[in-house]
Structure 1
C-alpha cells in the first residue's frame, strides 16, 4: 500500500526522520522524502513523505507515529495522509 503524507509547512524532513527512526514503522514500511511539484512547476511546493507499507495493518502504526510527531511540535502543522484514493486531513486544534 502506497501512502503519501503532505505537511503544510517545511517540517517534512523532521517527519521523515521521525518515521524512519520509529521501529514499528521501519519494520513494515519504506519511507522516502519527496515533493508534490509538477514536472517543470515552480514555487509553492508542499513537501511529501512517501511511505510504502508491507500490509494494511501497518497503517495503524504509521498513523500513531504521525500523531506522535505532530504532538511533539510546538505549532503542529496541518498534515494530509492519502492512500488508495482516501484522503485524511489532520488539522491543528484551534484553541
Structure 2
C-alpha cells in the first residue's frame, strides 16, 4: 500500500528518523516539497510503501516515537492513503491500532480525522 506522510516542518528530521529505524527504513522512498500548494499549508511529503498491516503499525510506532521527542504541539504528521487522511497526534498505544485500521481498510472519512 502506498502512503504519503505529510509533515509540517522538520520533514528532514522525520525522514532521517525513519531511515535510522531498521523496522521501517525499507518502506521510505523519498521526500518531495509541496510548499505553495494552498490546501496543504506548506507541508512536505515522505512517500512510503508498506506491504501489510504489520508494516503499517511499525511505521506508525516510529512516527509516534519521533513525535514524542518533540514539543507535543509541533510537527503534525498526516498519513494519507486512497483518500483517507489521518492526523497522528495522540501517543496512546491504541492510536497505532486505530490508524492501522483506518488506513488498512480505507473508507472515505472526514478530512483531517485526528487520531
Report the counterpart of residue 19 of structure 2 in structure 1.
20
The answer to whether the Cα contact below 8 Å between 1:77 and 1:91 also exists between their aligned partners in 2 is: no
Which residue pairs with 1:34 in the alignment? 32
Deviation at 1:31, TM superposition (A): 3.0
How many residue pairs were aligned? 88
* Structure 1 residues without counterparts, runs of 5 or longer: none
After TM superposition, the score normalised by the length of structure 2 is 0.64
Runs of 4 or more consecutive aligned structure 1 residues displaced over 6 Å after TM superposition: none
8 Å contact kept, 1:32–1:51: yes
What corresponds to 2:71 in structure 1?
Answer: 74
Q: Which has more helix, going by share of residues?
A: 2
Structure 2 matches for 1:43-58, cutoff 5 A? Answer: 45-58=42-55
Q: Which has the higher contact order (CA 8 A, sep 6+)?
A: 1
